[in-house]
């Protein structure tokens, strides 16, 4: 009887501690971003120094590359936001793909210094090229 009065509360405390360690910091590890329609609607509420993440599809025909920057437009089919990204985007960056950028508003333009590009989860081995050496595949 005395064994149960000690073991059951100890197991309960261990369970609560384990749960709080596993799930307590979950909100801090989640990455939230606004889509263009939400960002435009909340643009007056955000100060010019307030950073946030903006995600959407890169609009076709909007990508303009210059020395050290890329200008493009993110859209969610309800609104569009012009983006200026300072840096070199990843190899997968192109029109029509999903992207999440982090930065802040400057007027009506979103200036970003961090970019995450959505990639395809499917991997396909390229067909061997007749001009390539044996064992070499082209993507």
Please compute the mean of the pLDDT values over residues 50-60 and round it to a whole number. 92
Q: Is the pLDDT of residue 9 over 80?
A: yes
The answer to whether residue 119 scores a pLDDT higher than 80 is: no
pLDDT given for residue 31 in this prediction: 64
Q: What is the pTM (predicted TM-score) of this model?
A: 0.65
Q: What are phi and psi of 92, to 5 degrees?
A: -85, -5
Does the annotation place 111 within a ligand binding site?
A: no
Scored b (16 or more CB within 10 A) or e, 33-54 reads: ebbbbbbbeeeeeeeeeeebbb
Rounded distance, CA 24 to CA 120, Å? 32
Alpha helices for the chain (secondary structure H): 2-23, 26-29, 36-41
| pLDDT value at 125 more than 80 | no
Instruction: Tell whether 123 is in a known binding site.
Output: yes
Please compute the mean of the pLDDT values over residues 88-115 and round it to a whole number.
89
Residue 23, C-beta contacts closer than 8 angstroms, at least 6 positions apart: none
Whether the per-residue pLDDT at 113 is higher than 60: the answer is yes
């Amino acid at each position: 009887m005395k064994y149960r009065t000690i073991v059951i509360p100890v197991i309960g405390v261990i369970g609560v501690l384990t749960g709080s360690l596993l799930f307590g910091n979950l909100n801090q590890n989640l990455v939230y971003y606004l889509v263009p329609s939400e960002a435009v609607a909340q643009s007056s509420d955000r100060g010019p120094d307030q950073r946030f993440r903006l995600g959407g599809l890169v609009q076709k025909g909007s990508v303009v590359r210059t020395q050290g920057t890329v200008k493009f437009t993110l859209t969610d089919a309800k609104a569009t936001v012009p983006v200026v990204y300072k840096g070199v985007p990843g190899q997968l960056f192109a029109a029509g793909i999903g992207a999440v950028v982090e930065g802040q508003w400057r007027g009506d333009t979103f200036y970003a210094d961090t970019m995450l590009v959505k990639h395809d989860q499917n991997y396909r081995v390229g067909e061997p090229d007749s001009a390539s050496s044996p064992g070499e595949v082209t993507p």
